[in-house]
Structure formats: C-alpha cells, structure tokens
Structure 1
Amino acid sequence: MPTIIIADDDDGIRLDRWFQRHAPDTSFNIVSRWARTGGIRLDGAKAAPGDRIAAGQTLLYPDHLPEPSAATRARAEVEYREPLSDAQIGYIRGMIIHQDAHAIVINKPPGLATQGGSGITTHVDGLLDALQFDAATRPKLVHRLDKDTSGVLLLARTARAAAFFSKSFAGRDARKTYWALTIGVPNVESGEIDAPLSKQPGTGGEKMHVDPEGGLKARTRYRVLDRAAGRAAWVEFSPLTGRTHQIRVHAAAIGNAIVGDGKYGGKDAFLTGGISRKLHLHARRLVIDAPDGGKIDISAELPAHIAESFALLGFDPALGAPLVEVPKSATPKPKSRRLSSATSGNRRGERRSRGG
C-alpha cells in the first residue's frame, strides 16, 4: 500500500477531497468502499471519507488507483497557464496591501474582473501565480468583487486558510464595509434595508431584482456620511448577507442608485459637472478572524475616479472613521420592514436607526 505524508497545503480538508485533488479519477464510491473494508488508514487507524486530515499524518491507501481518464488529461491540458510577463507580475503585486502566512489582501482596481468569463482576458484569478511567493501553491479566491467594484479582496495562501475564510464568509462572521456615492440623499439617514433578491427573468441571470415572494433573504445596513446638498450622498454600506449585486440593487430600490450604475439606476445614475461615469462603489474595509487566532483588519484607499468625485463634491475621506465595534450580544435585534417592490423611491424596506 502506498504511503503518503499529508502536506501542509492539505491540512484541514476532508479525506475524500484529498483524493479529488490528487487522484481525480478515484470516485467517492471507490473511496467509500476502501474505507468500509479498512483499505484507507490515517496514522494506522481506519478512516472515513468525511474525516478531516492534518498535515504530517500518514495516509495509506490501496495501490490500484484508477488510471487518469481522457477527460482528466484534457482538463489538465486546459488548466495549463502561460507564464506571466514581468508587466503582469508587477501589475498584480502592486495591488498588495497586506500579506501574512495565511492571506494576501489586494486593493482591486475598478475594471479588473475577479475571474474569467466571456470576453474577459485579464482577471485576478489568471494573475495569481505571481502571488505564490514562498507558498506551496498559488493563493485561492475565497470571495468575489464585481468587475467595476474596487477595493479589498482577500486571497487565502493555503487550503486550510481557504476553508477557514470561506466558512467565515458563509457564516457572515466577516464584516465588510463599502463606500459609495449615491444619486440624491436617502430620506432616512441610517438604517437597514431588508429586501429579498432573485435573478430577474429574461436577463440570463445577469441582473437581480427585489422579489418579496420568491427571493433569497438580503439585508444591508447603511449610514449617510456626508451629502452635497440634495444632489448626491457619500454612503457607507455594510451587507449582512452576500447576494449578487446586493448593495447596488438595494441602493436603487430605496431610490438612491449608485453613481455610474446604469444597470440598476438607468440613465439617471449619472452626474454632470466632471463626475466620472464609472461605478462609484468601493470595498473600503474588511475585518475577519485569521486561522491562527488573530484578526485581519484592512482598509483600501479609494480609486482615482472616486477620490476625484469626492474632491469635487467637498467630501473628506478622513471623516469616514469606522463606528466603535459593539459586541453582538449587546445589540438587540430590531424588527425590520421589507420592500414590497423595487419601485424607485419605495422606502418601506428601510428601518430607521436610533442614535446611528
């Protein structure tokens, strides 16, 4: 029976996932059968497919692994990546704003997609080889930002860190703060928008809409940080759920679309007077626990077009200091009302915040 020492990059993953990575033609049924008959052992003890493995453990398994199929070999050929140029390496490394043993955080510029797609040739995922440094593997994406949204994007440097961070995002333990410039000023200075979202029919899944009946739960807190008369507002958004385009849809649903967001605000989502037509939405700050028990708390500087718009409107970014963190146990859960439709100006999904 072959003997394998579990590598650091496989620490914390399930046993069946290990086979998926290292012997992709070994099906879950095969792994299960080996486990039932005692053919797989971790440190000498029988193991089950769902067992978590740890770096340094000794894994024994039968020596009759299936030969790679034609489909697997084809996938391997497709996954081959051309070496990055010096310009590409310098480009992605210039975005780094934090780096430690578990994570790399970049300040993603607007216009750069997180992953590839139709017509997309340059994206973060395609540049990650440049951020491997001394790690065993390239870093992994654990969350996403829209192509035109700038700001904090966290990358996990190991499989264990990726599993840890993914669990934090899925469990809503990570706290994300976005800055946006909106058309007009919300009537309610601070509060919470509770409006379920679903894919809008007829858009091929490219657009979301408020769907009180069949939508998935979506909640966003916000507060107005400054205003330019009634023309525009600097608004801080904190999503409590993670739906596609959530902040953009919620902002438009209360009648204050984000500047530059033609998809959800239409032709009225643009300002004159030298204000850029680009989307004015920026992932300003991320606070998330680290696998070693510490905490990552990182903020990203504004991109040039938003900084210029703020200057034109007289907004001072230094005034956007974060609120004092309050323990969840000390904060009573308020009742919230929901939007009954996505009609512009319908504010029944807003909950007023007292003392915000």
Structure 2
Amino acid sequence: MTEFYFEAEDTGERLDRYLASELPDLSRSRVQSLIEQGCVYVNNNECTSKKVVVKSGDLVTITIPEAQPLELEAENIPLDILYEDDQLIILNKAAGIVVHPAPGHPKGTLVNALLAHCPNLPGIGGVQRPGIVHRLDKDTTGAIVVAKTEQAHQHLQAQLKAKTARREYLGIVYGAPKTETGTIDLPIGRHPIDRKKMAVVPVEKGGREAVTHWQAQERLGNYTLVCFQLETGRTHQIRVHSAQIGHPIVGDPIYSSARSLGVNLSGQALHAWRLKLQHPVTGEYIEATAAPPVEFTKLIEALRRRSLQRM
C-alpha cells in the first residue's frame, strides 16, 4: 500500500483531474476508480465524488493498494524463437500480441505462451511480469529478450539501464527528413489531457529523459525507411519522437493520421529489427536479428513501385 499527500494550490480543478495531473503514472480512469473505492480523502474526510472541486489549501490524500497478482495461465501459443539457452530466450514477437497480462488482456499474451514453453519462469523478476526485461507495444513486431533466471533478469535490466544493450528498429515514416541522420533528445511523459497517450513533456512537469538516434535507410518518395536506435526505453518513445519532428510512423493509430496506402497493416510500421546484448553468464555478446513481417516488406515494395512510377 502506498500513500501520497498533496497540499493543493489554487487550482479550481475537479478532484480526478487534479490527482491525474499530480500522479502522471496513473490514468484518470484509474484515479476515478480509486475515488469510488474510498481511497481518497480531502481534509481527512473520505471523498467518493470525482466532481469535487479542489480548493487552495486542501489536503488531499490518496492510498494506492498493492497490485494483486494476476492468475497467470500457461497457453500453448507458437513462439518464433531467435535464440535460447538456459539463461534467456529471444523471440520475434508478432503484431497484435500483448507482452504480459493486464486488465483487459488476461490471456493470449507473450507471457502466457512463455509459461508453457518455460515452466520455471514464474516469479522471475516479479510474479505479474515473469521474465520480462523490456516491452514492445502490442502492434510493434520484432526482437524481445526474456530472462529465464533471476540472475539473467537483473543482469539484462542493468544493461538496459547502463545503455550497453543495443536495440535497433526499422520504421517507415511519412515524409522525407532533410538530413540523413539525427538524434531526438526530448523528454517523454504522460499526455496532460489524453492519459492513454504519451507526449513530449518537460522534465519539470514529469517528463523523463528520452533519446532516439535515427538514420535514413531508403527514401521512398514521400516516405522513408528509417533505422532507429534507442538510448532510452520510454513508453511509445519512437512513435512520440517521430511524430514530434513531423515524420510519424506509418499506420500509427495514435500519433499519425490514418492515410491508406493500399496495404493492410496490423498496426504501426515499426519493427524491432536487431538486438545486441551481453550474455549474463558467459559475458559473450549475442546479436539477434528478427526478419520483418510480410506486411512490412510488402509495404516497402509497394512504396518502391509507387516511387518509380512517379519518376
């Protein structure tokens, strides 16, 4: 159980909006749920109405209960394995697969599939996300590493934190960048209005450091195939950064406009192409390359043909 205390300034905001702005890691719907459950007090009085207006000097207390472990079920779902030994496994994740169970996605996730493949996985790195070292968005495809021991989990997470693990993505963006390479160094945090989205947010307002390096691989008329290298790993980082510089990822349902290209996409045209990391036991470097999905290569071919026709 975690408690937060706030002495409100002159905001005039509704209670749910005020708390959502003060606690950017919580969605407004989650805040509203906590209010309804009696977890919020204003001036030491329980408050179950999200519409109460917070006034200057009000003391607001919110108690966040400990997350209850999800009942994880092993499911026989096929896995595309790129590398595996007794310490770790690297997979090529398909589009549409959620990495770990969560409210709304209790089954059919990568973790459910891994529990059937690796019976000793439960408990590694925590009971709710066993073995998970980093995430990929539901509709982002490609290489993802999962730890099979607690030692491997800690070692791999340390590599990501120290920025020694190399993660490269291929993405198709709208437009033609003016330069061949670049670096986007802009902090990312929860969107101030739409809590389901991320956005470029100043550090002083809750944003966290986010650095993305990119290099144009192939120019396809008014589209470009780009290789991205992550220095940090914020939620939706490449998608937010690309949109911020005016070149959003093609097919991104949240950060770009839905323009049809004549190719059916399962989601955004973003693929975790290559993953290079140090083995947690031997110290040797492992490099895994994940072949892009068929729809990704079909889109590139279609854009090439369209580009040639316009020449």
Please say whether Structure 1 and Structure 2 have the same fold, judged by a TM-score greater than 0.5: yes
- What residue in structure 1 maps to residue 226 of structure 2? 235
**Which residue number in structure 1 is paired with residue 271 of structure 2?**
282
Closer/same/farther in 2, CA of residues 164 and 310 from structure 1, 3 Å limit: same
User: 1:164 and 2:155 equivalent?
Assistant: yes
Distance 1:136 1:245 in 2: 27
Question: Between the two proteins, what is the percent identity of the paired residues?
Answer: 33
Following the alignment from structure 2 to structure 1, what is the Cα–Cα distance between the partners of residues 225 and 135?
Answer: 23
Judged with a 3 Å threshold, the aligned counterparts in structure 2 of structure 1 residues 222 and 272 are, in CA distance, closer, same or farther, namely: same
**Distance across 2 between alignment mates of 1:307 and 1:300:** 13
What are the superposed Cα offsets for residues 79-128 of structure 1, whole Å, 9 maximum, x if unpaired? 554453xxx24x13xx1111112111110001100112232232112222
Q: Select which of 125, 131, 137 maps to 2:111.
A: 125
Please say if residues 142 and 292 of structure 2, whose CA atoms lie closer than 8 Å, have aligned partners that are also in contact: yes
More strand by share: 2
Label 1:255 to 1:136 Cα distance change in 2 as closer, same or farther (>3 A).
closer
Pick from 197, 201, 217 the counterpart of residue 188 of structure 2. Answer: 197
Task: Please identify, of 171-180 and 134-143, the stretch whose mean Cα deviation from structure 2 is larger.
Answer: 134-143
Selected match of 1:151 from 115, 135, 142: 142
Equivalent residues in 2 for 1:2-13, closer than 5 Å: none
Return the index of the structure with the highest Cα Rg: 1
Whether 1:106 aligns to 2:97 is no
Residue 218 of structure 1 pairs with residue 210 of structure 2: yes
Specify every segment of 5 or more residues in structure 2 that has no aligned partner in the other structure, as ranges. Answer: 1-65, 125-129, 306-311
Report how far residue 137 of structure 1 moved: 7.7
In structure 1, C-alpha distance between the alignment counterparts of 2:140 and 2:216, rounded to whole Å: 19
Length, aligned pairs only: 232
Partner secondary structure for residue 214 of structure 2: strand
Q: Which runs of 5+ in 1 are unaligned?
A: 1-71, 316-356
Change (3 A) 1:141 1:189: same
Give the Cα–Cα distance (whole angstroms) in 1 for the partners of residues 289 and 254 of structure 2. 27
Relative to structure 1, the CA distance from residue 83 to residue 199 in structure 2 (aligned partners, 3 Å threshold; closer, same or farther) is: closer
Give how far 1:300 is off: 0.3
Which whole-Å deviations, capped at 9, do the CAs of 1:139-160 have from their partners, x for residues lacking one? 6111111111000010111111
The 4+ residue runs of structure 1 with deviation greater than 6 A are 133-139
> In the alignment, is the contact (CA less than 8 A) between 2:74 and 2:114 conserved in 1?
no
Equivalent residue number for residue 36 of structure 2: none
